[in-house]
Amino acid sequence: MRTSLVAALTLALPLAAQVSFTPRADRIAVQIDGKPYTTFFLAPDGNKPYLYPLSTARGATVTRHFPMETFPGETDDHPHQRGLFFAHGDINGTNFWATEPGSDIPNMGRMKLQKAPEAKAGAKSGTIRAVFDGIDAHGRPIMTETRGIVFYSDPRLRTIDYEIEIRAIERLVFADTKEGTFGIRLATSMTEDKGGRMVNAEGKETEKNVWGQRSPWVDYYGPVDGRTVGVAIFDNPGNPRYPTYWHVRAYGLFAANIFGVRDFTGDKTRDGSMTVERGQTIRFRYRVVIHEGDAKAAGIAELYRQYAAGR
């Protein structure tokens, strides 16, 4: 696979591209404006694919380093919350959320790369496209995930568009659980527990008022290396059940999740599960904006308005 991966990506690299890619057998490194930015880890060991690290345009790291690296003062809970990822805690009884290799979590699934990813570099943006099989706890492929990730070159922001299309190989039931779905684990210094702040599109703040609520976007900001930086996640208006619920915690987990309705509302009569019949597809699109300053200083509300309008 290594030879084919190198060949596929090398052909896609124009000269002087501002967003470019460097392949390895188990990962794809991303460069923006000639500097290393992040790496897309392809999960050959059975973990879910993830992006790590992520930072502002000026280089302040907004993702927790653990468990990929050790860093002074960081927390070491929930090792399965790696970088930026997409996964759900219960699909047909299989856990695709907590899939840390070597753990004793029951019914763990895994994502298996189907073929060499495609990558296209460019002057203003670059795109990775990768296809994975979702393997259930019994070793059977039950779904195919196609992921498209677009990185943008910008002097002020780091913006990532992330699309996930899931085709059901067999009938899929996404169960009602808060353990999901499109998420990031933030740097410990940014968290609400350490003085950071979360705010949603309606102006609600803190975990008490944001967790489990529906909103088109949430921004989570806090200090890194002495200055305030933030991460916003935008829910696309075309996504299922828009606007999404938010599984966002004071300790630094930050995730959009449309399925955990019973958990989020506390109403045991409700059922947030969703069924995708065999051969059918479901698609999710999100934008991640990594910025300097708080949500107001970064103009997150206006950036979301532009995104929702298709820009």
- Give the start-to-end residue ranges of the domains of the chain: 2-308
Question: Quick one: pLDDT at residue 279?
Answer: 98
What is the residue-averaged pLDDT of the chain? 94
Quick count: other Cβ atoms within 10 Å of Cβ 61? 20
User: 126 or 44: which carries more pLDDT confidence?
Assistant: 126
Question: Quick one: pLDDT at residue 114?
Answer: 93
Torsion angles phi and psi, residue 306, rounded to 5: -65, -40
Question: Quick one: pLDDT at residue 16?
Answer: 59
pLDDT at 264 over 50: yes
Question: Quick one: pLDDT at residue 1?
Answer: 44
Q: Which of 15-19, 51-55, 137-141, 166-170 has the lowest mean pLDDT?
A: 15-19
Q: Which residues pair with 186 in a beta bridge?
A: 63
Residue range 166-195, pLDDT digits in tens: 999 999 999 999 999 999 999 999 999 999
Question: What's the predicted TM-score (pTM) here?
Answer: 0.94
Share of the chain above pLDDT 90, in %: 89
Tell me the C-alpha distance between 284 and 171, whole Å. Answer: 18
pLDDT at 56 over 70: yes
What is the enclosing helix (H) or strand (E) of 217?
A: strand 217-224
pLDDT at 304 over 80: yes
Residue range 84-122, pLDDT digits in tens: 999 999 999 999 999 988 888 889 999 999 988 999 999
Quick count: other Cβ atoms within 10 Å of Cβ 71? 14
What's the rounded mean pLDDT across residues 75-80? 95
The answer to whether the CB of 222 falls within 8 A of the CB of 287 is: no
Q: Could you tell me which CATH number the domain at 2-308 has?
A: 2.70.98
At residue 212, what is the residue type?
A: G
Residue 18 pLDDT level (bands cut at 50, 70, 90): very high
The answer to whether the CB of 90 falls within 8 A of the CB of 174 is: yes
Instruction: Choose among 142, 174, 171: nearest CA to 278.
Output: 171
Tell me the C-alpha distance between 92 and 94, whole Å. Answer: 6
Can you tell me whether residue 208 is helix, strand or coil? helix
Instruction: Choose among 51, 44, 1: nearest CA to 30.
Output: 51
The answer to whether the CB of 140 falls within 8 A of the CB of 131 is: no
pLDDT at 7 over 60: no
Residue 8 pLDDT level (bands cut at 50, 70, 90): very low
